[in-house]
Amino acid sequence: MVIYPVFMLTRPESVDGRRGGRSFQPGDASDPWLVDDPLGEALHFLRMSGAFYCRSELTSPWGLTLPPMPDYLWFHVLPRARCWLETEGADPRLLQPGDFALVPHGVGHQLRSEPDAPAPFILDLEREQVSERYEILRHGGGGAPATMICGAVRFSHPAARHLIRLLPRTLHMEAANSPTFDWMQSTLRLIAAEAAERLPGGESVITRLADVLVILAIRRWIESDPGGQKGWLGALQDPQIGRAMTLVHRDPGRSWTVASLAQEVAMSRSAFAARFSELVGEPVMRYVTRWRMQVALSALEEGSATVKQLAYRLGYASEAAFRRAFKRVMGVPPGAIRPSSAPSPPGSPGSEGS
C-alpha cells in the first residue's frame, strides 16, 4: 500500500527550486474534511503501510502465536471465527464472529480456538505466498472451520504515530454492540467474499477494507472511552488549543511564537500558554520543536528529503542549528536515520532467513 507524503512543509518550492511555489496543503479551505476539526485532521492522517497481511483458513482446534513488531499495529478481522485473544499484561478476550480486534503497540500475542489449544509460531507454519505482502495460511486439527484476516500495519505520519501511542494494549469492537453493526457486517461480508473467491484485485480490496475498519475502531474508541478525552487527544478537541495545535501541524516551519499562536486563537499570551501546558502536558514551544522533529524523522525515514532541505523547510537558520535541535529531541543525529521501507516480519517471505 502507498504511504502518502507528510504534511507539506512551510515555504514550498516551485518546480524550478525557488521559494514561493504554491502547492495544496492539508487544511486548505478547499478541503472540506479538515475545516475546524483538529481531531478529524489527526484521523485523516491514519494512512497505513501494510507490512504483512494473512488470510487464515482454520479448523479447530487451532492456535497461532504472532510475533512482536515494534512500531506496528496488529489487527484481526473475524468474518467467520470465534477465538481467544491473549496479550501479555491483559486479560484474555473472547472474540466472536463479526468482531474486530486491534493490538496497537506491536506486542506479540496469541489467538486460540480454545483456551488450551496449542499456538505454534505463525512464521513456522507453511503459508501460501500470494504476493510480497499477502499470504494464505491453512492450519488446524480438522474440526469446525473458521476464517480470519490478520495484518500488521505501520503509520508514517507523526500525528498518526502520536495517536496510536495513546491507545490501550488491546482494542475490541464487538459487532453485536456496535452502532454501525449493519455497515460493519457488510464490510466483513465483503472481506470474506473476496477472501473466498480470490478474484483479480482481491488482495487490494481486502487490505483497503481492513484499513477502513482500523480507522473506524480507533474513532469509536476516541468517542466512547475516557482515555480518548484526555491528554493530547483531549487538547485537540479544545476549540482554541486544538486550533493552535492544528496550525502547528499544518505549517511546522513557520516562525511560531507563543504570542503569534495566542493571537491566532484570540487568547492572551499568558492565558494561552497556561492552558496549552495544562491540556497538552508540555510548554508551547517545546511542543512546536518536538513536532518539527517528528515531521523531520518521518521525512528522513521515507527518504523524501535531505537534512539540508529539512533545515530549510522547517525554518532553521542553518543546517547546523537543525542538526543540534534534532539530536537534542530525538537523541541521535539526523544522519543516523536511514530511509527504510515497511519491513516484513522476520522469517516471512522476502526477509532474511526465509
Q: Provide mean pLDDT across the span 317-332.
A: 94
Residue with the bigger pLDDT between 295 and 34: it is: 295
pLDDT at 295 over 60: yes
- Ranking 4-18, 180-194, 195-209 by mean pLDDT, the lowest is 4-18
Reported as a pLDDT band with limits 50, 70 and 90, residue 165 is: confident
239 vs 236: CA distance, rounded Å = 8
Residue owning grid cell 495460511:
137
The helix/strand/coil state of 136 is: strand
- Assess contact for 343 and 51: CB atoms under 8 A: yes
Residues 6+ apart with CB under 8 A from 108: 65, 66, 67, 68, 88
CA atoms of 71 and 197, how far apart (whole Å): 32
Please indicate, yes or no, whether the overall pTM of this predicted structure exceeds 0.75: no
Cα separation of the two ends of the chain: 22
Cα–Cα dist 306/69, whole Å:
27
Range with the poorest average pLDDT among 72-81, 111-120, 250-259: 72-81
Rounded to the nearest integer, the mean pLDDT of the chain is 78
Q: How far, in Å, CA of 7 to CA of 153, rounded? A: 20
Average pLDDT over residues 145-152: 87
Question: Which residue has better confidence, 172 or 318?
Answer: 318
Give all domains of the chain, ordered by start, each with its CATH number.
48-227 (2.60.120.280), 230-336 (1.10.10.60)
User: pLDDT value at position 13?
Assistant: 32
168 Ramachandran zone, left/alpha/beta (phi>0; psi -120 to 50)? beta
DSSP lists the bridge partners of residue 110 as: 65, 86
CA pair distance 79, 39, nearest whole angstrom:
30
The residue among 102 and 350 whose pLDDT is bigger is: 102
pLDDT of residue 266: 95
What are the tens digits of pLDDT across the range 249-261? 889 999 999 999 9
* pLDDT computed for residue 51 by the predictor: 67
- Determine the 3-state secondary structure of 322 from DSSP: helix
- The stretch 63-92 carries a mean pLDDT of 87
Given a cut of 70, is residue 103 above it in pLDDT?
A: yes
